[in-house]
C-alpha cells in the first residue's frame, strides 16, 4: 500500500473520449481545493492521445480493447491498483460526465449523512432509472437527500470495505449473457449489485445527481442508451 494517504482516490475508465476526459480532469483540478487526491485513469485501448502531467495521476493503458463483453477485466485492473492505495474515499467515474460545484465536499457530506449501518456505497449519477427495480427487485425508498435503491452502476463513492467485501474481484462474465440480447450492458454493475444485495448491504443513490451526463452517443451501450437515456438535469 502507498505510504501517502489520500482523501479521495478517483478512478476513471475511458475509451476514445480524450476531449471529454480532459474536461473532467480540469474539473477535478478545479474542485481539488485542499483535498489530497489521487487519480487513476484506465484507458481501454483507445487511440486518442491523453495528456497527463500531474504527479498524483496514474494512467494505465489496457490492450487490446476489452469492450463491453470484457469490461470486468477493466474493473479488475482498477481493483488491483486501488488495493495498494490508501485513501479515505474511493470514487468511480466514467469519462463522459461533468462535476457539480463543490463536488468532493458535497459527495462526502451526503455519503456521511447516511446513518444506516448497512451502508456500503452511494451512487452519484441519478437519472430516470432511480425509481425502477434494477437487478435486485428492490423497491426504491426515499430518505430525503438520497434513496435506497440496492443497485450500483459504477458511478459512486465508497470506502475500502466496499472492495474488501467483493474481495477486490469481479467474477468473469460468460459470453452466454448476450446470446438472447446483444444489447445488454456489461453485467458488471449487475454482478456488484446482486452480490452486495445478497449480503444485506445497503446501496444508495443521491436524489440530486452530483455528476451531469448529457445525451451523447454511448461507446459501450449504443442501442440501450437510445432506449434508456442517462441524461441528468444540468
For residue 105, give the 3-state DSSP assignment.
Answer: helix
Q: How confident is the model at residue 71 (pLDDT cuts 50, 70, 90)?
A: very high
| Cell numbers standing for residue 73 | 477485466
In terms of residue numbers, what domain contains 156? 5-227
Asked if 151 and 189 count as a contact pair (C-beta separation under 8 A), the reply is yes
Query: Rounded mean pLDDT of the chain?
Result: 90
Q: What is the pTM of this model?
A: 0.90
What is the rounded CA–CA span in Å between residue 210 and residue 106? 8
In a domain, 35, yes or no: yes
In a domain, 40, yes or no: yes
For residue 185, give the 3-state DSSP assignment.
Answer: coil
Name, in order, each residue with C-beta under 8 angstroms of 67's C-beta and a sequence gap of 6 or more: 44, 220
What is the rounded CA–CA span in Å between residue 225 and residue 218? 7
- What does the pLDDT average to over 110-116? 98
Q: How confident is the model at residue 1 (pLDDT cuts 50, 70, 90)?
A: low
Q: Residue 110: which H helix or E strand, with range?
A: helix 103-113
- Angle among Cα 197, 199, 201 to the nearest 5 degrees reads 60
**Number of domains observed in the structure of the chain:** 1
In a domain, 56, yes or no: yes
Asked if 126 and 208 count as a contact pair (C-beta separation under 8 A), the reply is yes
In a domain, 24, yes or no: yes
**Residue range 31-63, pLDDT digits in tens:** 999 999 999 999 888 888 888 877 788 888 887
Query: Percent of the chain having pLDDT more than 90?
Result: 72
Q: How confident is the model at residue 214 (pLDDT cuts 50, 70, 90)?
A: low
Asked if 38 and 10 count as a contact pair (C-beta separation under 8 A), the reply is yes
In a domain, 234, yes or no: no
In a domain, 233, yes or no: no
Asked if 44 and 66 count as a contact pair (C-beta separation under 8 A), the reply is yes
| 118: CATH | 3.90.550.10
In a domain, 182, yes or no: yes
Q: How confident is the model at residue 12 (pLDDT cuts 50, 70, 90)?
A: very high
In a domain, 221, yes or no: yes
Strands of 57-61's sheet, edge to edge?
A: 57-61, 37-43, 5-14, 86-94, 156-158, 119-123, 202-206, 146-148, 141-142
Find the range with the poorest average confidence among 67-71, 99-103, 209-213, 218-222.
218-222
Amino acid at each position: 500500500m502507498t505510504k501517502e494517504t489520500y482523501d479521495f482516490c478517483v478512478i476513471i475508465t475511458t475509451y476514445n473520449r480524450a476531449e471529454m476526459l480532459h474536461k473532467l480532469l480540469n474539473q477535478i483540478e478545479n474542485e481539488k481545493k485542499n483535498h489530497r487526491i489521487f487519480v487513476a485513469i484506465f484507458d481501454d485501448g483507445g487511440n486518442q492521445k491523453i495528456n497527463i502531467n500531474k504527479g498524483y495521476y496514474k494512467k494505465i493503458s489496457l490492450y487490446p480493447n476489452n469492450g463491453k463483453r470484457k469490461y470486468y477485466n477493466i474493473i479488475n485492473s482498477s481493483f488491483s491498483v486501488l488495493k495498494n492505495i490508501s485513501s479515505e474515499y474511493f470514487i468511480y467515474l466514467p469519462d463522459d460526465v461533468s462535476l457539480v460545484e463543490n463536488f468532493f465536499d458535497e459527495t462526502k457530506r451526503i455519503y456521511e449523512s447516511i446513518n444506516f449501518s448497512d451502508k456500503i456505497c452511494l451512487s452519484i449519477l441519478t437519472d430516470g432509472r432511480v425509481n425502477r427495480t434494477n437487478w435486485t427487485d428492490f423497491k426504491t425508498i426515499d430518505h430525503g437527500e438520497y434513496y435506497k435503491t440496492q443497485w450500483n452502476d459504477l458511478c459512486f463513492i465508497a470506502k475500502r470495505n466496499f472492495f474488501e467485501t467483493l474481495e477486490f474481484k469481479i467474477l468473469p462474465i460468460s459470453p452466454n449473457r448476450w446470446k438472447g440480447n446483444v444489447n445488454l450492458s456489461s453485467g458488471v454493475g449487475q454482478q456488484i449489485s446482486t452480490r452486495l444485495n445478497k449480503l444485506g448491504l445497503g446501496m444508495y443513490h443521491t436524489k440530486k445527481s452530483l455528476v451531469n451526463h448529457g445525451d451523447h452517443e454511448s461507446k459501450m451501450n449504443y442501442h440501450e442508451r437510445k432506449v434508456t437515456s442517462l441524461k441528468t438535469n444540468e
